[in-house]
Amino acid sequence: MRVWGPYRAARRYLWGYVMVSPWALGFLVFTLGPMAASLYFSLTEYDVLSAPAFVGLANYQRLLMADKRYLIALANTVYYTIFSVPLSMILALTVAVLLNQGLPGENIFRTIYYMPSVVSGVAMSMLWIWLLDPNLGLVNTVLGWFGLRGPLWLQDPAWSKPALILMSLWGIGGQMVIFLAGLKGVPVELYEAAMVDGASWRQKISHITLPLITPTVFFTLIMGVIGSFQVFTSAYVMTRGGPINSTLFYVLYLYQNAFQFFRMGYGSAMAWVLFFIIIVLTALQFRLAGRWVYYETGMPAPGRP
């Protein structure tokens, strides 16, 4: 045993490394490697066709101090995040609460609401181009039935971002399923006890449902903010950033710089600034989570001051 014991332990460790090596190699080659390369390129002037020339922090300085279109793209993205994330969460939670009532046909309606979230982003964008057409679109046609004159939507700088936010609400199926899973975890006994005490449905929602699904809300909020800062497909397919840069979102402008204007170093710098913004926002949400996120013990999340 003294001879074979260490040998067998070494074999177990070796097999563990062998089993994890495909993921480790994939992470090094396809994630960590490109991240390191982009960090280097962000410090260079690189047009893909010629060798990169080191320029230090010049790309970052230009990004934050001299590029007005960058500030427009950042402002558009923040606008989109502020409105799309809360609206999509509220709508998804409302649908999840309705589907959690145990009514007949729940599975059918759950599938119907979830289906748009698995549709290709390009296909969904093409569909909404027709829906939002000022003259022949279904949205303005329905508004006309009620005597309302529909806006120009994607052709109007004042309505282009609201149009994309409206389109994003069509894909709440993924969030709805997550909320529904959280609602299924709320003990029925709590609702029964509240009913005995004469609680109204509003009191049940505010004192039982919402506190017990705050971890689900927290997860959905984090993923929603990260996803909204990376919005790209809808703006690229439907508007290409127009009209008048009203839908020039952050990742779309990054794509234009890196792959259309061949300013790969500048685009890499934009990517790292976006990475920093998302890290800061995520850390801030974790910091504030201790004030409102509750777990099964009924206690706030760790870190509450």
Domain residue ranges of the chain, discontinuous segments joined by +: 1-30, 62-289
**pTM confidence score:** 0.89
Over residues 175-188, the pLDDT tens digits come to: 999 999 999 888 88
Mean pLDDT on 132-157: 94
Q: Which residues of 232-248 are buried (b: 16+ CB within 10 A; e: fewer)?
A: eebbbbbbebebebbbb
pLDDT band at 296 (very low <50, low <70, confident <90, very high): low
Q: What pLDDT score was predicted for residue 202?
A: 87
pLDDT band at 77 (very low <50, low <70, confident <90, very high): very high
Mean pLDDT on 34-49: 94
For residues 132 and 153, is the Cβ–Cβ distance under 8 A? Answer: yes
Q: In terms of C-beta density within 10 A (0-12 exposed, 13-18 middle, 19 or more buried), how is residue 58 classed?
A: middle
Q: Which residues pair with 294 in a beta bridge?
A: 300
Over residues 164-174, the pLDDT tens digits come to: 999 999 989 99
CATH class label, 62-289 = mainly alpha
Kind plus residue range of the DSSP H or E element containing 184: helix 173-184
Q: Which residues pair with 54 in a beta bridge?
A: 44
Share of the chain above pLDDT 90, in %: 72
Mean pLDDT on 65-88: 96
Q: What pLDDT score was predicted for residue 305?
A: 37
